Structure 1
Amino acid sequence: MKTIASLSLICCTALLGACADMGHIVPQSQQVDANALGGVGAEQTGKAVEAAKWPQTQWWKAYDDPQLDALIDQALAGNPNLRIAEARVRQAQAIAGGAEAATLPQIEAKTAMTYQLFSEHDFIPPPQAGHVDWYNRAALEATYDLDLWGRQRSTLAAAIDEVKVAEAESQIARLALENNIVRAYVQLSLQFALKDIAEETLKHRVKGLDVMRKRLAAGLATEMDVTQLEAAVPPLQIQIEQYDEAVTLLRNQLAALSGKGPSAGAQIARPTMKLEGNDWLQLPAMLPADLIGRRPDVAARRWGVEASAREIDAAKAAFYPNINLMAFIGFQSVGFSRFINNESAIRGIGPAISLPIFDGGRLRSNLGAHTAAYDASVENYNATVIHALESVSNALVTAQSLQQQQKMNDAAVATAVHARTLASKGFAAGLADFLVLLNSEIRLLSQEQLQAQIAARMLESHAALMLALGGGYQPEHQPEPVKQASQPGDDQPKTEQP
């Protein structure tokens, strides 16, 4: 009869918990369907990536510059921001370990010794009743949360998803660091090239000025002609100094990104990077589903949605009775004379049940907060997907436009070279003025300056595309769909998509 009464009590308790009002709180946001967005990547992000399946391609190796490779290796080993991101991964793993511990049996050794006055009307018999003595207890106590409604399991699942978020964010930091180094290195290469062109232009300007001064002395030119050429010299000198400044600043930046001081930047030589061919632009017309899905920022937001969904499940489970199984074994006595012996042994086992009935709306508020956080995670994911598609499209558009600009500028450079050749032959034959030859040289240098700028932008566009693709294209796995938060109104919270 006692067993039947106990079971009846547990059943009634469970029914009372099942009747707790969740207030019809449901998520309001839905994950965007990438297939409906259109344009580049319309079939890309319908699925999530598996943890730690990041592109392993060292995409910067395409530039064939050993110094750049060394700089990135140093940065990955010593950049403080990257170390911070890795520490956050370890922190998330430790938190997940704590959540896992809550799903396992807990055993504690407890000892209590209290010197106290015992009541004459309590369970302590004479001669201790009404007197002062020691009350001693030493026992091993075990507790186990039966987790009938999955609260601890959902909390653990959310913590594991947060580890995946931290891992993805670490990959974001890594990829951003690589990209920043490449971009700074491209700019360093460009500043060297522009400085060379400016110095060559200055040399031609000075040579032309010398010729004009000789003409002035011979009465073949005016003071105005000389002054105009003189005025063109200082701006070029200032420009060369500005290029020197930019080179020093970029070296300092690269040293800092590598986790070193400015003195290390002084050791960085002129870049020798180049990018052979345009195979990297040959992407499928419709990118495969996992290409954008493996971007670390998309993956991080996706795992954030997963974690928020599991936190909703844990918040729903709080509306149900919490049943713990408790057991203990040890010794208990009044006084020390018979403390540790068989007559003082104690042991016991039984359930401990807690039931939320009136909590002033605390549980509904908690559920509402987690539901709102889920909506925010979904919208954050949606915004990231849209940005991912946009960044890939923009990188491709820019790279393809630069490819056309490069072709047109190559033709312009060829024309300028031909014009300079004709001017040189005409001057040698006495059929053209020296200033004609000088102007043809300067026009060619101006065209070469534009050529260097387009080449640098092409290198940067390659880096931008690699960043947009999450570091490179390596389809290696089949991603799995993300589970959604369960909806209220079920008999109990679920961890599967309804």
Structure 2
Amino acid sequence: MSPSTTRAPRRAQAAPFPLLAGLAAALLLAGCASSHGLAPQLTATDADTLASARSLGGTSLSAADFPQADWWTAFADPQLDALIDEALRDSPSLAAADARARSARAQAGLADAQRKPTLGASARVSGLQLPATIAPEPLGGDFKASNVLMLNFAWAPDLWGGQRATFEAAAGQARAAEVDAQAARLTLSANVARTYIALAQSFDTQDVAAREQTRANRLRDLAAQRVEAGLDNQLQLRNADTSIGIARQQEQAAQQQIDALRNALAALLGKGPDRGLDIARPQVLQAAAPNVPAVLPSELLGHRADVVAARWRVEAAARGVDAAQAAFKPSVNLSALVGLAAGNLSDLFGSDAALGLGGPAISLPIFDGGRLRAGLSQRDADYDLAVASYNQTLVTSLREVTDALQSARALDAQIATVSDATESARQAFALADRRYQAGLGNQLDVLAAQRPLFQLEQQLAALRAQRLGAAVDLDRALGGGLVPTAPTSSMQTHAGTITP
């Protein structure tokens, strides 16, 4: 799909009534507020001008679709699936995003109501008594009552499209808020996944520390035996105690991190910290090979919720400019009041009780101290701000895709390198340990072989977690399976038309 973009402010429409148009022209000749010289300054970026082919070079470009809506199921961990489902159901942050979307829809409804005719009914009974000392009879001295039934009609025809533009601006903001609510769901699911991955890494780090402590304890036992046999001195024993202490501290630190991450997951679910205690150790998570659709970058416009929301805000700002331009034109207000009025209730429905008032009113701004020009200038600046935000969001979206893709490729290479180094370190430690037990080496050799193995195992656990995080980042950068509704108009500016 090739998503369309947003149109810039359109010029005022022709007046539908020739008589009113002629009157407006005459009034304009007499002098009125002018919008001359005011216009937006910025142009939306064409996505295809943001070159990315070389940065994405060497990557498998797939004809497959963008990520699925439930992209996290690729990690094949049922507990992670259940946690994200729970977060999407119960998180207060999503409830807040939905409330903001409802509020924006209500604002659009108010703007729509403002451009429609109104009809109201009223009934009133009132009385008046003037003192005879002020007004002689028959006006003074007696209580006079009046009974009135009225229908009140009012309508301001939208001659120049300003009211419609105001409504469309509010509707655009409402659409942007709805897309923001979808983006909030993607952000929440990604945060749950990344926190879950960090929890898995903390358990792996704890395992490494436990294995190191086991090795250190065994070395201490051997050192104690050799000291007792007079083959080693206390230095070897103290070195073993130091290794045990370091490994124990690493294990305790990992447990602290596990507790903190469980608390963080509980908060993301909208629950108390006790909910985190029920989260079991994650399964062994696997990340798929990095893969991006071949239709980047243009197709990204329709899948990134933040890009779509930014485009809706450009659309809303453009309609705001239209509304500000329409305010410079003549306006017509139609009003009518019909009803019944009588001093006595028995006369209220008689033929003589009819009451009527109404007619059109035409107004045109002539001198307003620059209020309308300042308002239009502000709307132009709002439009430029929305376009700049859209352009920045588009640049950021492509950067995030490229970052995640390059990180995944680099981390795959690092994991392979560190895995080979870890295996070599493991073999070196096993050889030093056998030589030590056979009396051919000393404990310093064993400790020297043990230290890099411990460090490499920790590094490998961290790299695997980073690789899983890069997979989350890539799915999120590609839109996370969302296909939000984008504006269907063309994006125009004073500099021309762009079709990303």
Instruction: Output the TM-score relative to the length of structure 1.
Output: 0.84
Pair 1:26 & 2:56 matched: no
Determine the structure 2 residue equivalent to 1:165: 176
Give the structure 1 partner of residue 257 of structure 2.
246
Pair 1:29–1:132, CA change in 2 (3 A): farther
What is the CA-CA distance between 1:406 and the residue it aligns to? 1.7
**Aligned with residue 71 of structure 2, among 59, 62, 72:** 59
For residues 254 and 477 of structure 1, do their structure 2 counterparts lie closer, same or farther at Cα, with a shift above 3 Å needed? closer
CA 1:294–1:194 in structure 2 vs 1: closer, same or farther (change >3 Å)?
same
8 Å CA contact 2:202, 2:258 repeated in 1: yes
The 2-side partners of 1:128 and 1:72 are apart by 80
What residue is the counterpart of 2:267 in the other structure? 256
| 1:42-441 alignment, distance < 5 Å | 57-116=69-128, 133-275=144-286, 277-278=288-289, 281-284=290-293, 287-347=296-356, 350-419=359-428, 440=449
**Once the two structures are superposed, what CA deviation does each residue of 1:174-221 show, in whole Å capped at 9, x if it has no partner?**
111111111110010000010011011011111111211222222222
Whichever residue aligns with residue 220 of structure 2, its letter is L
Mapped partners of 1:423, 1:329: distance in 2: 106
Report how far residue 15 of structure 1 moved: 4.1
Letter in 2 for 1:402: L
Q: Which runs of 5+ in 1 are unaligned?
A: 1-5, 44-53, 119-125, 488-496
CA contact (8 A) 1:41 1:286 kept: no
CA–CA distance in structure 2, aligned partners of residues 159 and 42 of structure 1: 39
Contact 2:179/2:484, CA 8 A, preserved across alignment: no
Quick one: structure 1 residues 315 and 408, their matched pair in 2 at CA, closer, same or farther if it must change by over 3 Å?
A: same
23-32 or 255-264: bigger deviation: 23-32
1:494 maps to what in 2?
Answer: none
Aligned residues of 2:84 and 2:189 also touching (Cα < 8 A): yes
Cα distance between partner residues in 2 of 1:476 and 1:303: 11
Alpha-carbon shift at residue 345 of structure 1 (Å): 2.1
SS at match of 2:334: strand
**Contact 1:40–1:393 (Cα < 8 Å) also in 2:** no
Deviation for aligned residue 1:395: 0.9
Cα drift, residue 231 of structure 1:
2.0
Deviates more, 1:55-64 or 1:316-325: 55-64
Mapped partners of 1:187, 1:27: distance in 2: 47
What amino acid does structure 2 have at the position aligned with 1:102? Answer: Q
How many angstroms does 1:160 deviate by? Answer: 0.9
Q: Partner residue of 2:7?
A: none
Residues of 1 paired with 2:39 and 2:202: CA distance? 56
Q: Could you say what secondary structure the match of 2:292 adopts?
A: coil
TM-score by length of 2: 0.83
Equivalent in the alignment of 2:134: none
Q: Shift of the alpha carbon at 1:75?
A: 1.0
- The counterpart of 1:471, out of the listed 472, 477, 480, is 480
Name the aligned partner's letter for residue 202 of structure 1. Answer: Q
- Alpha-carbon distance in 1 for matches of 2:142, 2:376: 52
What letter is aligned with 2:79? Q
CA contact (8 A) 1:290 1:475 kept: no
Q: Does the 8 Å contact 2:305/2:484 carry over to 1? A: no
The alignment yields a C-alpha RMSD, in angstroms, of 3.3
Q: Percent identity?
A: 37
Tell me the distance in 1 between the aligned counterparts of 2:251 and 2:287. 29
SS of corresponding position for 1:109: strand
Amino acid at match of 1:200: R
Distance 1:249 1:207, change over 3 A: same
Q: Distance in 1 between matches of 2:486 and 2:314?
A: 19
Q: What secondary structure is seen at the aligned counterpart in 2 of 1:232? A: helix
Structure 2 unmatched ranges of 5 or more: 1-16, 57-65, 131-136
204-213 or 181-190: bigger deviation: 204-213
Distance 1:173 1:329 in 2: 52
Distance 2:20 2:181 in 1: 50
The residue identity in structure 1 corresponding to 2:236 is: D
Which amino acid in 2 is paired with 1:109? A
